[in-house]
Amino acid sequence: MSARVSVALCTHEGERWIEEQLRSILAQSVPVSEVVVGDDASTDRTLDIVRRVASETDVPIRIRHHRVALGVAGNFADAIAATTGDVVALSDQDDVWHPDRLERLLPHLDDVALVHSNARLVDAAGAPLGSSLEESLEMSAWERAALEGGRALDALLRRNLVTGATALMRRDAAVAALPVPDAWIHDEWLAMCAALDGGLRYVPEETIDYRQHGGNAIGVRRLSLVGKLARVLEADSGKHAVKAARAEALAAAAAERGLASGATLERLVEKALHERARARLPRARVRRIPGIVRGLVRGRYRAYSRGAYDVARDLLEAHAR
């Protein structure tokens, strides 16, 4: 695919990492056309470093400094809207692109709206952690086949599997997906919009080093068996209400923007109904059983949640409300 590639790179207090990431972007085997840096109220040396690197390259690096932070989703939305290329590559401040990232991913964007990849997990110093993003997400064979085979919506209605730091998107599709609704993270929203309109493809190759340093705005962490049990038992604390609001916003936006109709729109509505029903489960565990059984009988836990895992979670978790 011959295209002008813009990079939407968002920063916040990123002085420790930003130079290495910028230089990895500028060293791509397929050159980028521009970098739009959206800075969310940094008070450290982030922007000084960006300006210094910008002075050393012919690639335009444009800074959008927000003195009042927009938040992760808002910052990325603003940066995406400011790009001018045919393709937008999303970038976090603390990762490192492999030199041929664009070369490997661009051909897969020919007939879809968004392509995303696997990533190598590294620690704060850049040393490999011995695992990949796909492994940390515990992506099942069914999920991988759905993402690779044009059935991304089937997988994404159950849970998000798209990490923005690994994603490229056609700019027209990315801009059409804006604004990002409240409660949604930018990459999850862009992925869902792509799955509904234009398609989405997963490439299982590692194309970036995805740094895990404990201060990530959004990171990944593979849970042990004990950790999974603790998550099943942890208090709701409003997360189900957020999931319900997200699903309702998706169904409404898809209908309003013409992204879905007929059976597809019905699935989005069913997803919203399922999440709202989960949010309304009673505090007493024994009283949740009828509602959970209804969700199982209707196939909602299989189609719109992670099956037995979320059944156990809904049955056993504590309710803070």
Q: Which of 116-130, 177-191, 214-228, 278-292 has the lowest mean pLDDT?
A: 214-228
H/E stretch holding 276 reads helix 262-279
* Tens digit of each residue's pLDDT (9 = 90 or more) over 17-28: 999 999 999 999
What whole-number distance in Å separates Cα of residue 256 and Cα of residue 101?
A: 35
Instruction: Give 137-156 pLDDT, tens digit per residue.
Output: 999 999 999 999 999 999 99
Q: What is the pLDDT of residue 261?
A: 94
- Signed CA dihedral, 285, 289, 291, 295: sign only: positive
Q: Let me know: does 51 contact 20? Beta carbons within 8 Å.
A: no
Strand partners, 210: 121
Integer Cα distance of 200 and 281 in angstroms: 34
Query: For residue 133, is pLDDT > 70?
Result: yes
**Residue of 182, 180, 206, 203 whose CA lies nearest to 193:** 180
Q: Check if the beta carbon of residue 80 is closer than 8 Å to that of residue 60.
A: no
DSSP state letter for 281: -
Give per-residue pLDDT as tens, 190-226.
999 999 998 999 999 999 999 987 654 455 555 555 5
**Residue 238 pLDDT:** 80
Selection from 284, 319, 276 nearest residue 300 by Cα: 276
CB half-sphere exposure, 78, CA atoms < 13 A: 18
DSSP 318: -
Q: In the chain, at which residue ranges do the beta strands (DSSP E only) sit?
A: 5-11, 34-40, 61-66, 87-91, 96-97, 114-122, 128-132, 168-170, 200-211
For residue range 77-86, list pLDDT tens digits in order.
999 999 999 9
pLDDT at 2: 76
Average pLDDT over every residue of 62-77: 97
Cβ contacts of 55-64, under 8 Å, gap ≥ 24: 57/26, 59/26, 59/31, 59/32, 59/33, 59/34, 59/35, 60/33, 60/34, 60/35, 61/22, 61/34, 61/35, 61/37, 62/34, 62/35, 62/36, 62/37, 63/37, 63/39, 64/36, 64/37, 64/38, 64/39
So what's the pLDDT on residue 223?
Answer: 54
**Token pair for residue 262?**
């007929």
**Which residues lie below 8 Å from residue 172, measured CB to CB, with a gap of 6+?**
none
What the block records as the tokens of 281 is 């489960």
pLDDT of 216: 47
Q: Within a 10 A sphere around the Cβ of 69, how many other Cβ atoms?
A: 13
Helix (H) or strand (E) holding 221: none
Closest CA to 65 of 21, 9, 22: 9
Q: Which tokens hold the place of 178?
A: 């804006």
Summary mean pLDDT of the chain:
92
